[in-house]
Amino acid sequence: MSLILDGTAGVTTPAIPSAGPIVATSINFGGATLSTYTQGSFTLSGVSGWTTVPTCTCYYTIIGNMVTVLIGQLYGTSSSTAALGQSLPSLIRPNTVSGIARISPGCRMYDPGNSATEVWGLTSISASGDLNFYWNANGNNWTASGSKYIDNGVITYLGVV
């Protein structure tokens, strides 16, 4: 059974017989069909840039070919000018051409060696699923000492189609 709602005034939505929950397998938006919706979580591996490696649980949602990832909190004492994570699951790696990474406005960053205030940073994601976090929107590196944190940021990008 198909149900098509086109916004025509005076059209009454037909009753849908129910023998339990209704499960849609896709949604059609004027010729474009959305048939992918997936959620999951993973622990970010290969985290570096801190004296003690923080554990970070991340959550993702895929709708069509758009991927949204919630990066959990990474907090600790800085040991380098980099902040890295590796191995995004292949399901959510970005759609890249020749290894060009998508850079998205990312997580809330704090680096007291650069600025005493929190800023919105950048996150680059390589085709192999590696993340590089920059402490501000200009893509600057971190201070190699003192506190460094990335606080529950959300990044959205085009995923593998």
CATH code linked to domain 37-158: 2.60.40.2460
Query: Residue 15 has what DSSP assignment?
Result: P
Which tokens sit at 156? 């959205």
pLDDT tens-digit readout, 19-75? 666 666 767 777 777 777 899 999 999 999 999 989 999 999 998 888 888 888 888
Specify the amino acid at residue 28.
N
* pLDDT given for residue 156 in this prediction: 82
Q: Can you tell me the distance from the alpha carbon of 107 to that of 145, in angstroms, rounded to the nearest whole number?
A: 20
CB 60 within 8 A of CB 153: no
Q: What is the dihedral of CA 59, 62, 68, 72, to 10 degrees?
A: 10
Check residue 72 and report its DSSP letter. Answer: -
How much is the pTM?
Answer: 0.74
What letter represents residue 161's amino acid?
V
pLDDT in tens, 134-153: 887 778 888 898 888 888 88
Return the domain boundaries, the chain.
37-158
pLDDT tens, position by position, 91-139: 888 876 444 444 555 567 788 777 656 777 788 888 788 888 888 777 8
**Closest by Cα among 103, 96, 141 to 122:** 103
